Amino acid sequence: MSSMKLIAYVFLTIAMAATSIQARGWRGIIPLRSSRAEVERLLGPPTEEISKNTVSYRTGTESATIRYATGLPCGIGEKYSQWKVLRNTVESITVTLIPAIPLSKFGIDESKYKERRDPHLPQNVYYVSDSEGEIVRVAAGEVQDINYTGALADETLACFPRQRSSVDCDAMSPPHFDFYGNIRFSDEQARLDNFVITLTDEKDRIGYIIAYAGPRARIREAQTRAEQAKNYLVTVRHFPASRLIAIDGGYRDEPEVDLYIVAKGVCPPRPIPAVDPRDVKIIGASTSRRSKRRAH
C-alpha cells in the first residue's frame, strides 16, 4: 500500500469511527463520553434540577432525564458510582416521547435491536441494542421512551462486570410477591406459608427468596436468613427445594426479605442492595433466628 493510500485509509477509518460514535446517544450527547458542560453548551440550562446529579430537559416533543456521575469510588448505593468516569460525566439519559410515536413510524433497525417481551407486563415490548446501549420501550404499538446508557464498547468503564443479557432483564424485573422487614419468626412463617401456597398452585414457577442485612450485621446474616426461610419451606411445608432459590442480596438501610414468584425461563429477580459493604459494621458471627425470637 502506497503512503498516500495508507494516509487515505487512516483518515477513512477515523471518519468512520467518529460517525459511529456520533450515531450513538441523544442529540449528540453520549453516555459515559459527554460532560455536563457539553450538555449545557448544546441544550442550555436544564428545565429542572431534580437532584444534585439529575436534571431534566423538556421540549415540545420530548422530556429527557439526564443522570450525571458523582465521580466517587465504585460501590453500591447513592454514595458511590457504577461507572469509572469523571464527576459530571453523563451516565444515562431517559427520553420520554410527547406524544408517543407509532412503532411503524419510529424505524427500528431489527439487525441491531433484539425484541424482548415483558412476561410480567405483557403490554410492554422492549427493543434492546447492546452495541448502541439503548433500550426502546413500546406499549400498545407506540414508542413510549428510550433509555440510553453504556454501550458494549464501554464495558471497561463499568465498576462491576455485567452480563449483557442482564440489560434485558433489568428492564423486565418481576414484581414482588411479598416483602417484609424485621418481624417475629411466627409472623414470617405466616408470610412464607402464603408464599408457598401460591407456588404450589403455580407448578411451572420458581420461588426466589432474597434477604438483605442492615448496616450493622453479622457475618453471612443475609445468606443465613434466606437459607432459613428456604429450609422452613422445605422441611416444614415439604415444598421441593429445586423450586426455591435463596439469595444473599447484600445490605440495605434496614434488614429485609423480598419474595418473588417467577415463571421458568423468564428473567429472574436481581438483588438491589442500597448500602455499600464498606459502610457496614460487622458485629459478629451470624446466629440462628430460630433461637432468637423478637419480642415485639
207-219 pLDDT, tens per residue?
A: 999 999 999 999 9
CA dist 65 and 109 (Å) reads 24
| Cell numbers at 66, concatenated | 439526564
Q: Cα separations (Å) of 35 from 76, 88, 116, 146?
A: 22, 6, 31, 20
DSSP 138: E
Q: What is the mean pLDDT of residues 143-172?
A: 76
* pLDDT of the residue at 189: 96
* pLDDT of the residue at 285: 61
CA dist 39 and 66 (Å) reads 9
CA dist 88 and 72 (Å) reads 11
The domain locations on the chain are 21-170, 178-291
DSSP 76: S
| Cell numbers at 167, concatenated | 440489560
Residue 94 — very low, low, confident or very high, per pLDDT cuts 50/70/90?
very high
* pLDDT of the residue at 2: 47
CA dist 290 and 278 (Å) reads 28
* pLDDT of the residue at 12: 37
Q: What is the mean pLDDT of residues 243-272?
A: 91
Q: Where does 178-291 sit in CATH, by number?
A: 3.30.1330
SS (H, E, C) 97-121: EEEEEEHHHHCCCCCCCEEEECCCC
Contact predicate 273/200, CB 8 Å: no
Residue 296 — very low, low, confident or very high, per pLDDT cuts 50/70/90?
very low
* pLDDT of the residue at 99: 93
Among the ranges 60-69, 149-158, 277-286, which has the highest mean pLDDT value?
60-69
Q: Which residue has the cell 455499600?
A: 276
Residue 169 — very low, low, confident or very high, per pLDDT cuts 50/70/90?
low
CA dist 50 and 195 (Å) reads 38
- Looking at per-residue pLDDT, the higher value among 114 and 96 belongs to 96
Q: What is the mean pLDDT of residues 274-292?
A: 73
Contact predicate 112/119, CB 8 Å: no
* pLDDT of the residue at 207: 96
User: pTM of this prediction?
Assistant: 0.69
pLDDT of residue 167 exceeding 80: no
Scanning the chain, the segments in alpha helix (DSSP H) are 3-23, 36-43, 103-106, 165-170, 185-201, 221-235
Contact predicate 62/93, CB 8 Å: no
pLDDT of residue 171 exceeding 60: no
* pLDDT of the residue at 114: 87
* pLDDT of the residue at 19: 37
- Give one DSSP letter per residue of 163-206, joined into a string: -THHHHHHTTPPPPSEEE-S--HHHHHHHHHHHHHHHHH-TTEE
pLDDT of residue 119 exceeding 90: no
* pLDDT of the residue at 117: 75
Which of 4-13, 118-127, 193-202 has the least mean pLDDT? 4-13
* pLDDT of the residue at 253: 94
pLDDT of residue 13 exceeding 60: no
Query: How confident is the prediction for the chain on average, in pLDDT?
Result: 84
CA dist 173 and 191 (Å) reads 22
